[in-house]
Structure 1
Amino acid sequence: MFVATVIVSAVLAAVLAASAAFKLSHRSEAVQQYTRLGVPEDKLDYLAVLLLAGAGGLLIGLFWWPMGVAAACGLIVYFLGAVAVHLRAGELRTVPTPIAVELLAVAALVLRLTTR
């Protein structure tokens, strides 16, 4: 079961790092995407830092389980907010992405609690 925890945590950390890099790039497509959602460009760096903290917490959590649990809980809250922002903006076609990452965060939490 710990192997599953490692795989889910590593995949989720990679997804979070990629999303953070996209936000930190401030490329026009990133800015436009988040502007459509009502997120100002100056907030993208803060969101990226939260994602990187979550990714780091998941990886540290492989060695110290309370950190993994805390990181997964934080990511669950973050992505619940992301789903709400997408729904509020009426961006229904992009809602599946934060939902999928949300489910990965829930899986990481369940696995980390199971394998502590």
Structure 2
Amino acid sequence: MSIAYVVLAILLSAVLLMSARGKLTKDEAVVKGLTAAGVPLNWYPPLAIIEIIGAAGLIVGIFFAPLGVAAAIGVVLYFVGAVIAHVRNGDTKGAGAPATILLVAIATLVTRILSL
């Protein structure tokens, strides 16, 4: 296991949990961003659950590599979808945050694979 993966997994997990919290509490900034991406309010809880599961998988992946790889792949796909949703709805300005998280998720995936 690499120190880089541990650091990235913890960082990305924290970001995912903060994002999930924003969705579950319907934080004003989160609602504004997701509305611009065309995400209906009733999708917030399932999306938050996916983020929580991803965060848990990344942390457990520190100790069990296959789960870390699977979780990182899931988080990458989640944020690919988020970027696509923003761009498809003409919210290119709002695509920056999910694109940044996507890059961190890709780095997390690569470091987990390289540390096998």
- Counterparts in 2 of 1:67-86, with a 5 A limit? 67-86=67-86
TM-score (norm 1): 0.94
**Equivalences, count:** 116
Query: Secondary structure in 2 aligned to 1:95?
Result: helix
Task: Determine the C-alpha separation between the residues in 2 that align with 1:29 and 1:19.
Answer: 11
Task: Determine the C-alpha separation between the residues in 2 that align with 1:38 and 1:86.
Answer: 8
Q: Match of 1:31, as an amino acid?
A: V
1:30, distance to aligned residue in structure 2 (A): 2.9
Moved over 2 A (4+): 27-33
C-alpha root-mean-square deviation of aligned residues, in Å?
Answer: 1.3
Gaps of 5+ in 1: none
Q: Match of 1:62, as an amino acid?
A: I
- Seen in structure 2, the aligned counterparts of structure 1 residues 89 and 4 have a Cα distance that, compared at 3 Å, is same
**Match for residue 25 of structure 1?**
25
- Counterparts in 2 of 1:83-98, with a 5 A limit? 83-98=83-98
Q: Match of 2:90, as an amino acid?
A: G
Q: Match of 2:40, as an amino acid?
A: P
1:84, distance to aligned residue in structure 2 (A): 0.3
- Counterparts in 2 of 1:1-116, with a 5 A limit? 2-116=2-116
What's the CA shift string for 1:63-101, capped at 9, x where partnerless? 000000000001111111000000011111111111111
Of stretches 25-34 and 44-53 in structure 1, the one that deviates more from structure 2 is 25-34
Task: Determine the C-alpha separation between the residues in 2 that align with 1:31 and 1:114.
Answer: 37
1:33, distance to aligned residue in structure 2 (A): 2.7
Query: Secondary structure in 1 aligned to 2:97?
Result: helix
1:44, distance to aligned residue in structure 2 (A): 0.3
Task: Determine the C-alpha separation between the residues in 2 that align with 1:78 and 1:110.
Answer: 16
Q: Match of 1:10, as an amino acid?
A: I
1:12, distance to aligned residue in structure 2 (A): 0.4
Report percent identity of matched pairs.
40
